[in-house]
């Protein structure tokens, strides 16, 4: 190879490359396709859809899963777009203590742990519909947190 470099060369001249770029910029862009309309007609009037995130936390998995199923089935009955339940990693809180109340005796330890399970459910719906969905009876020991993020 006789010392010539192919790095700076191009198939078009420098002006041809600029013409190609400017013609690419003039191409019409297709309209963005959305999965769901940002506005939904409910009872004849338009309402803005909100992105609503429901966070459920509990120590009992069965009751947590039951509340998740109830919420999702309620949302699907309303024909809402539902994502989830997203199962987040379980937090395990450990506590290790000595069994003996005084410092004497056999050195034995008690190990206690509390597992906190967490689920996320995302909805795209008007805010008044969420009140209907979350009005279901929620199992004892399940905490529900609703956050609304406008898109």
Which residue do the tokens 């190990």 mark? 111
Helical H runs in the chain? 14-25, 61-77, 127-133
Q: Highest mean pLDDT range out of 26-30, 47-51, 121-125?
A: 121-125
pLDDT digits (tens, 9 = 90+) for 51-73: 889 999 999 999 999 999 988 88
**Rounded distance between C-alpha atoms, residue 144 and residue 146, angstroms:** 7
Tell me, yes or no, if the pTM score tops 0.85: no
């Amino acid at each position: 190879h006789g010392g010539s470099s192919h790095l700076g060369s191009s198939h078009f001249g420098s002006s041809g490359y600029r013409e190609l770029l400017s013609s690419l910029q003039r191409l019409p862009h297709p309209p963005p396709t959305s999965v769901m309309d940002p506005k939904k007609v409910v009872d004849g009037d338009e309402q803005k859809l909100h992105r609503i995130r429901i966070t459920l936390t509990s120590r009992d998995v069965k009751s947590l899963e039951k509340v998740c199923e109830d919420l999702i089935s309620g949302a699907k009955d309303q024909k809402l777009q539902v994502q989830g339940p997203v199962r987040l990693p379980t937090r395990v809180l450990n506590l290790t203590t000595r069994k003996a109340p005084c410092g004497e005796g056999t050195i034995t330890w008690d190990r206690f742990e509390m597992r906190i399970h967490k689920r996320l459910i995302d909805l795209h719906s008007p805010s008044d519909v969420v009140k209907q969905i979350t009005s279901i009876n929620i199992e004892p020991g399940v905490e529900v947190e609703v956050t609304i993020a406008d898109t």
